[in-house]
Structures are given as C-alpha cells and as structure tokens.
Structure 1
C-alpha cells in the first residue's frame, strides 16, 4: 500500500441527498453523484451554520489512476478506527471526508498507518 502526504482542507463540507433531482438548482456545489436512488450533493458548509452535519476533508497529492491501493491505504485505517467516510474521487486524487467531530481520531489513525498529515 502506498504511503501518502495528505492535507486537511481548511473548508468544511455538508452532504445532501435529493431523491428526485437530476441537477441542483444552484451552482454552489463542490461535487455531484447521480445514482439510481437520486442525487448526492457535496457543498461547502456555510460559515453561519444551519446546513447539516459538518465534514472535514483529507486530500492527497495528485497520483495517477494506475497506482493501486491508494484509496484502500486510507480507508482501511479509518475503518479500523471506526471513522465513517464519504469519498469523492477526481481524476487526480481522492477527497476523503470524515465527520468534523471525528477529525482528530482520523488524523491519528492515518498517521499511525504511516501517512504524513498536515493540519492547518
């Protein structure tokens, strides 16, 4: 499994699920995933609160799509530490979200697994 250099993003995120939508009504989203059960929308959390559970994001240095085990090297230690995750993958890397109140434990689990984690 690869060892990664990760950074915790300074932003916080919220997730929403809309079973009837095919596209959000606004353009304030970060990522969209359309599946048979509806649309999942990832947005930046409002600094004023009130828009749901906050998630913190880990982002790794870009890597090729041909590098095996990258996501497994992150998800395994988080699962072993009982930290829930939501993942949004890009062409270059993966955005691994954990509940904001579990961030400290997630950082510890990833560091214990050998990853370098920078926290702002």
Structure 2
C-alpha cells in the first residue's frame, strides 16, 4: 500500500529513552530532547547511552520533507503503516517535521514497512542487526 504523502525520512544517529515523571513540572537536568507537560505529569525524551537500561527507541525524522503546519496527513502517512504492522510509536513534533520513535528491536521492521508504504528512509545510522 503506497502512502499518498511519500516522505524522505532519516534514522537519527541517537538512541532515545522516554520517561514519565508523574510529579515533575520540569526535569532536574537539561539533558532532554523533548518535554510534554500534562495533568498526569511530565514526559521526557532524552538520548540514552548504549548501555542505558529500559526501553530504547530509534528516531525517524522527516526533516528532508519539512512542511508547514497546515499540510494535512503528513504524520498519519507515517504512523498509519506502522500501526497496521503493530509497531508502537512515540511522536515528538517540531515546527517543520515529526520525530517518530519506534522501539529499537522493531526499527528494521519499521523501515521495511515505511519503504513498502512508499517512503524513502536513509538508514546510514541504523545499527546492524544482532546476529
């Protein structure tokens, strides 16, 4: 199934962690990439070390196909195929594009799904599969 809004994505060279801080209004450090404050607490996206514990996320960024805020369907064109393939996502949107995080162990499958949907993915920063 080809996406009506094909995009050029790149694998971000960092690995990320997503944390929930239920009683915080701001993190204690400035080592974060994205913050979302909601009634149930603070969600923090930060780079993690290769040996970091917890779930690790790989970022796919559509900066090569930056778009205005009024262009509909850009995020749906990415997360729709991933949802159909049962790949979880966490999204942090910027003014021009979206950072779509997928679990590290599903990153290669996510790339395949997105390419089959008509997107182009630069995988030069995707680590080789364990083998």
Unaligned 5+ segments in structure 2 are 125-131
1:56 matched to 2:62: no
Unaligned 5+ segments in structure 1 are none
1:61-80 correspondence runs (5 A) = 61=64, 62-80=66-84
Deviations 1:59-106 (A, max 9, x none): 012111111100000011000111000000011100000000000110
- Alignment partner of 1:43: what SS? strand
If each structure's strand is expressed as a fraction of its own residues, which one has the higher value? 1
What's the C-alpha RMSD, in Å, of the aligned pairs?
Answer: 0.8
CA–CA distance in structure 1, aligned partners of residues 21 and 58 of structure 2 = 21
1:23 matched to 2:26: yes
Matched with 2:89 is: 85
Matched with 1:100 is: 104
- Alignment partner of 1:26: what SS? coil
TM-score after normalising by structure 1: 0.96
Superposition misfits of 4+ residues, deviation over 2 angstroms: none
CA–CA distance in structure 2, aligned partners of residues 71 and 8 of structure 1 = 16
TM-score after normalising by structure 2: 0.88
Q: How many residues align?
A: 119
1:40 corresponds, among 23, 37, 43, to 43
Matched with 2:6 is: 3
